[in-house]
Amino acid sequence: MRKIGLSLFLIPLTLLAMPQTTNFQLKIEQVMTPQELRDSGVSNLTTTQRQALNLWLNRYTDNILKLALHSRDESPSIGTVQTSCSPAIESTISGESEGWNGETIFKLDNGQIWQQAEYAYTYFYAYRPDVTIYNTREGCRMKVEDEEETILVRRLK
């Protein structure tokens, strides 16, 4: 089934390169292998049921294509995309820090407030430690000076 979902996702992406037209006719047999058709039960559908599935597939693909084109038109160019931690943020935690334990909030000297965004427990004591918050695939990650562990965080302010 994973392959089916991936196929249904990739079809609209390949259609992005096509002219902006929604006049296509996909058939389920084009996106599923014969084995997937058997395993999923699609090969047992009546002609009417298969036509209904193909209509749904085309509506679904059309909607995904429209959303992708809409997102592409509204998003800034790749060179100017910034997250709340891109470029990296360097600051100092205001006051004492005793690590993190679930929902820890970090107030920084630059006025920003960040909260722990993943469950983890790390104890250390530091007074006004320097921190670096940087972008990763998972989101914003915070590194506290002299500590090996890092923590996923989200900006509150």
What is the distance between the alpha carbons of residues 106 and 115, in angstroms, rounded to a whole number? 6
> Regarding predicted confidence, which is higher, 88 or 81?
88
Three-state SS for 93? strand
For residue 70, pLDDT beyond 80: no
Compute φ and ψ for 100, nearest 5 degrees: -145, 155
Q: What is the mean pLDDT of the chain?
A: 80
Strand ranges for the chain from DSSP E: 89-92, 96-97, 105-107, 113-116, 126-127, 130-135, 140-144, 150-155
CB-based contacts of 52, cutoff 8 Å, min separation 6: none
Residue 156 is predicted with a pLDDT of 92
- Residue 96 is predicted with a pLDDT of 94
Q: Is the pTM of this model over 0.85?
A: no
Give the other-Cβ count within 10 Å of 104's Cβ.
17
Residue 152: predicted pLDDT: 94
Q: What is the mean pLDDT of residues 31-52?
A: 90
Average pLDDT, stretch 2-15?
46
d(CA 28, CA 23): 16
Tens of pLDDT along 111-150?
Answer: 999 999 998 899 999 999 999 999 998 899 999 999 989 9
Amino acid (1-letter code) at residue 47:
T
